[in-house]
Amino acid sequence: MSGYYLAEGLPQPAADGLDEPYWSGLRDNRLLVQQCGSCGGWQWGPEWICHHCHSDNLAFTEVAPEGIIYSYERVWHPVHPALGEQGPYLVVLVSLPQAGDVRMVGNLLGDPNQPVPINAEVRGVFEHHEDAQPAYTLLHWQLV
């Protein structure tokens, strides 16, 4: 393994380009989440219309990569072939208070057998894969 938290080759931005601002933001160490310009509602994952008011007036807005653990899963049997040699690892569902408490899934760094306290504060860690073609960045989470 190359020193990255998980195997390479996993992220695949949407072919329609909808989530491209999110991936570009990660490459610049920025977390961008969709916000509606009509009602102010937040949403994740990216969609073409607002989940709240059905407007198409959506933009990606920067928020601090900080959140609260809402839930988690300790993965023992990876479901993707690229993760065949991984495990266990921790996947957390993080609530973003600055973005209307939308929830985002990510990996929790550290010992995969560590206790995972619900409501614990986490901070985002950007993992750059510059040698990949195309290059990409992942957002992981770390306990504060």
Give the pLDDT confidence of 17-69 residue by residue, as tens digits.
Answer: 899 999 999 999 999 999 999 999 999 999 999 999 999 999 999 999 999 99
Predicted local distance difference test score (pLDDT) of residue 120: 98
Predicted local distance difference test score (pLDDT) of residue 14: 77
Domain-embedded: residue 6: no
The rounded percent of the chain whose pLDDT value lies above 90 is 72
Domain-embedded: residue 4: no
Predicted local distance difference test score (pLDDT) of residue 3: 64
Is 99 strand, coil or helix?
helix
Q: Which residues make Cβ contacts (< 8 Å) with residue 55, sequence separation at least 6? A: 36, 37, 38, 39, 49
Read off the DSSP letter of residue 115.
-
Predicted local distance difference test score (pLDDT) of residue 1: 40
Domain-embedded: residue 67: yes
Domain-embedded: residue 10: no
Q: How many residues are listed for the chain in this entry? A: 144
Predicted local distance difference test score (pLDDT) of residue 63: 98
Res. 8: pLDDT tops 70: no
What mean pLDDT value characterizes the chain? 90
Regarding predicted confidence, which is higher, 6 or 44? Answer: 44
Residue 36: how many other CB atoms lie within 10 Å: 22
Res. 116: pLDDT tops 90: yes
pLDDT digits (tens, 9 = 90+) for 124-137: 999 998 888 788 89
Q: What is the rounded CA–CA span in Å between residue 22 and residue 12?
A: 12
Domain-embedded: residue 103: yes
Its domain, for residue 69, covers: 20-143
Domain-embedded: residue 117: yes
Domain-embedded: residue 2: no
Domain-embedded: residue 5: no
- Structural domain total, the chain: 1
Predicted local distance difference test score (pLDDT) of residue 90: 93
